[in-house]
Structures are given as C-alpha cells and as structure tokens.
Amino acid sequence: MADSRTPAQSPAGVNPLVLVVGGGAAGNAVTVLLRRAGIAVDLIEARPDWNSTTGSGITLQGNALRVLRELGVWERLEASGHAFGSLGVTAPDGTVLFVAEDLRTGGDDLPATLGMQRPRLQQILIDAVRASGAGVRLGTTADSLDQDADGVSVRFSDGTTGRYDLVIAADGLNSATRAAIGITDRPEPTGMAIWRVAAPRPASVIRTDLAYGGPAFIAGYCPTGADTLYAYVVEACRDRASVDPAAYADEMRRLAQGYGGAWPEITEHITDPKKVNYTWFHHLLVEGSWHRGRVVLVGDAAHCCPPTLAQGAAMSLEDALVLAELLSAGRDWDDELFQAYYDRRIPRVRTVVEASLQIGRWQLDGVRDADMAGLVGRTMSLLRERP
C-alpha cells in the first residue's frame, strides 16, 4: 500500500507502520488513537461491507464512554443514543422490585450508561477512522505473516504484500491471526444463549430493566435512542441445528410472551425473523502474554465474556487505549513493551471475565442466594479506576 502520510518518529528513528487486522470496535479505536499520535496505520477488514454489523443494540457503560471520548466521538454518541443512570429489576410479570443507581465508571462527567444501536456506533467509528487518514482496505484478509526481528511481512488475500513494524490482531472471537501466531486458546461456550431484537421504544422504558426467572433466565431491554430499544431474552443454549432461522421471531416471541410490564408492547414487534439475532455466549482469556514477536492481540481476539456485566466492548476499547498509549510513549517496540501491555490489562480483564462467568453459572445452577449485587458492585468499583 502506498502511504503518503507523515508518521511520528519511532524511538529507533524510523517511521513505523502498523497493520490493524479487523475493523470492529477495538480495531477502529486503536487505529484512530495511533493516527492521532502520528503513527501510520493500514486497516484491513474481511467484510466488503464494513458496517454489516449484526445485533440490534449495545450497552456502553461509563468506562467505555471514557475511551470513546478520547477518540473524539462522544458528542456524536450522545446525540445518537440514550443516556441513563439506573437499573431496574422486575418480576417476570413486570412488577418493579427495586431500582439501583448505576456507578459512573467513566467519571462523574459522563453518564453511567448509554444505550445505542450497534450499526450507529460502528458508523461513527468508521467515520473517525476515515477522518484519521488511515489506509483502509475492505474485503481483505491477511493470508500469511512472516516475522523477523524487525517486523512482519504480510501477504494479503488479493495477492499483494506489505511490510509492517507491528501487526495488531483485532479480528475478533475466532481470530485467524491468533491461530496463525501459534496461540492455541479458543473460545468456549458457556451454556447460555441470547435472543436479541431491535424494536420501537415504549414511553415507559427509560432505562434497562431486567427480569430474572420466568420462561428464561433473563429478559431485559435497553433504550437505544429517542424512540428505539433493543430487547433480549437469555436461555440455555440449544443445538444450533434445532433452531431454524426462519422461526427466530416465533421462538423469541414465544419466550417474550411470558413477561409483563413493557414486554407486551415490545413483543408486538417481534415479527421478522431476519431482525432477530440468536447467539451463544462464549468465554476466552488468553493467559501469559497477548503477543508473539511483532503481532499483538486486542479485544475479543484476546478475551471475551458473556454480556452479563455489559463490559465486552468496554474491555476491548480499553485494550486499544492502553496499547496505543504504550506504542506512542517513545519506548522501543519490543517484548518488554508488549508484556507491559498484557501485565497492565490482565488483572482488570480477568476480573470482568470471571465475574461475568460467575453470574451466568449462578443462573445455570439455579443458585438463589448468590451475592450478585455484591459481585457487580465490587467489579464496577474497580472499573471506575482508569485502565
């Protein structure tokens, strides 16, 4: 790829060039942050349509918003989503049992939580990448990586090649880059699955409400804008062969009909199976290090967890922030730097992964006296600290 940009000088006095593999939240964020530091970046994304984002909505808590503000996109996010500061817990019939104030994990000058439509978030990040001056190629993968002491030679799926000082693997849960550099960890299912759908927002929905029990483990929703929300139902995962995509709306509607409150209004709109997303929950935590030579993992390529704490995107965005900070600090890009990145991230990420898994296990095992509020409170208090 020809590059007319003027990057910062590396500690060795050369102009570093970074390849980011994957154009999701982590890849987009690290690209913008590195470009802001004057480092040249090429980003490749396997999908020809960069914003073919699946899923209906996303819950962004304060620590995620803190990173997104660093990217310079907070004002657009605020205008596009729905901010709120509390969480309701209801009985399956819709009776509100209690409302808890959310901790502002991003600081007091940001909302505790922002709900928004996933495609809208992705488009805002895409626009930020485009504006940063990064090179972007869609419908492109890295077919081979050949490392030496100074960098990585990459052969792309279109037959072209490139030479990079660093490759950042942001290619998600089933990262081909992770496998290519010899990290054998793979995501494992947790035993739970989720049905999601976007729908019009009833006027009564002003925050996330969660109902535990009933036909499923959890039924919840999150407002994503002035008149939109996404709703979800969590159950034990099924054999995928037994779930006909043409019946997705029927299946989700059947489960949702067991809930009261705002759910009858929401359920009326669960009609199009193409708008219903069914996904198993997985978990992954790569231990020891997140790099091999000059290839380093960020986001879901290194770790993932069920969304029981709504922290998956936040952890990925924090990875991008910390890695970009270290790469732009004037240090040599060596094993010591990449290990420092891992050492800084792993205690925080492990806490989130383990807490998210624990909440799911309690539900799968039917534990009724679990200290869920205590676990959530301790975890969120930790996340208020900067990554």
For the chain, percent of residues with pLDDT exceeding 70:
96
**Verdict on whether the full-model pTM lies above 0.85:** yes
Q: Is the pLDDT of residue 66 over 50?
A: yes
**Tens digit of pLDDT for each residue in 155-211?**
999 999 999 999 999 999 999 999 999 999 999 999 999 999 999 999 999 999 999
Kindly list the structural domains of the chain, giving each domain's residue range(s) and its CATH number in brackets, ordered by start: 17-187+283-383 (3.50.50.60)
For the chain, percent of residues with pLDDT exceeding 90:
92
Q: Is the pLDDT of residue 11 over 60?
A: no
Tokens of 203: 């006027």
Are 14 and 334 within 8 A, CB to CB?
A: no
Q: Would you state the pLDDT for residue 55?
A: 64
Q: Would you state the pLDDT for residue 54?
A: 60
Average model confidence (pLDDT) across the chain: 94
Q: Is the pLDDT of residue 35 over 90?
A: yes
Tokens of 272: 């199009």
Q: Is the pLDDT of residue 29 over 60?
A: yes
**Least trusted range by pLDDT, from 91-95, 263-267, 367-371:** 367-371
Rounded to an integer, the average pLDDT of 318-333 is: 97
Residue 4's pLDDT band, with cuts at 50, 70 and 90, is: very low
Q: Is the pLDDT of residue 2 over 60?
A: no
**Tens digit of pLDDT for each residue in 375-386?**
999 999 999 999
Q: Would you state the pLDDT for residue 8?
A: 39
Q: Is the pLDDT of residue 320 over 50?
A: yes
Distance from C-alpha of 353 to C-alpha of 20, rounded to nearest angstrom: 24
| 239: CB partners within 8 A, 6+ apart | none
CA atoms within 13 A on the CB side of 12: 10
Distance from C-alpha of 326 to C-alpha of 331, rounded to nearest angstrom: 7
**Tens digit of pLDDT for each residue in 110-148?**
999 999 999 999 999 999 999 999 999 999 999 999 999
